[in-house]
Amino acid sequence: MIFFNIWSVLHWYVRPFVKWFLRKTTRLCELQRICYGDKAGAQRTCNVEKSLILSRTKDVKEVIAFLDAVVVERRFIPENFDDILYPSISIIMRTKKIDNKLHPTFAPSFRQCLQQIWSYKQLIDEVEDLRCTQYDYQNSTHEEKLLKLWNLLQPHEPLEERISKQWQDIGFQGDDPKTDFRGMGLLGLENLLFFATIYPQVSSHVLSHSRHPKYGYTYAIVGINLTSMAYYLLQDGSAKTYMFNAKHYLPNIDLFHRFYCYLFFEFDKMWIESKPENIMEFSMIFKKFENAVRSKLTDPASVFRIKIEIDNI
Q: What is the pLDDT of residues 288-307, one digit of tens each?
A: 999 999 999 999 999 988 77
The Cα–Cα gap between 17 and 14 comes to 6
83: pLDDT confidence band, cut at 50, 70 and 90?
A: very high
Same domain as 210, residue 70: no
Same domain as 207, residue 115: no
Instruction: Report percent pLDDT > 70 for the chain.
Output: 90
pLDDT at 13: 53
| Assigned domain for 312 exists | no
Q: Are 212 and 273 in contact (CB under 8 A)?
A: no
The Cα–Cα gap between 98 and 113 comes to 17
Task: Fill in the DSSP letter of residue 261.
Answer: H
The Cα–Cα gap between 224 and 218 comes to 10
pLDDT at 248: 83
| Assigned domain for 76 exists | yes
| Assigned domain for 292 exists | yes
Domain count, the chain: 2
Residue 65 pLDDT more than 60? Answer: yes
Neighbours of 24 (CB within 10 A): 8
Same domain as 278, residue 142: yes
3 state DSSP class of 45: helix
Full-model pTM? 0.91
4: pLDDT confidence band, cut at 50, 70 and 90?
A: very low
Same domain as 200, residue 66: no
| Assigned domain for 236 exists | yes
Out of 131, 157, 178, a domain closes at 131
pLDDT at 162: 94
**Percent helix, strand and coil across the chain, each to the nearest 5:** 70, 0, 30
Residue 211 pLDDT more than 70? Answer: yes
Same domain as 144, residue 38: no
Same domain as 216, residue 107: no
Give the contacts of 156 (CB within 8 A, at least 6 positions apart). none
| Assigned domain for 307 exists | no
- Which residue type sits at 187? L
How big is the chain by its Cα radius of gyration, in Å? 23
pLDDT at 39: 96
Same domain as 106, residue 188: no
The Cα–Cα gap between 168 and 176 comes to 9
Closest by CA position to 299, among listed 226, 233, 246, 240: 240
Residue 311 pLDDT more than 80? Answer: no
Closest by CA position to 204, among listed 273, 159, 151, 272: 151
Q: Domain containing 118: what range?
A: 2-131
pLDDT at 26: 65
Closest by CA position to 173, among listed 220, 134, 225, 215: 220
Q: How many helices (H) and strands (E) does the chain have?
A: 13, 0
Same domain as 47, residue 162: no
pLDDT at 247: 84
Q: Are 17 and 10 in contact (CB under 8 A)?
A: no
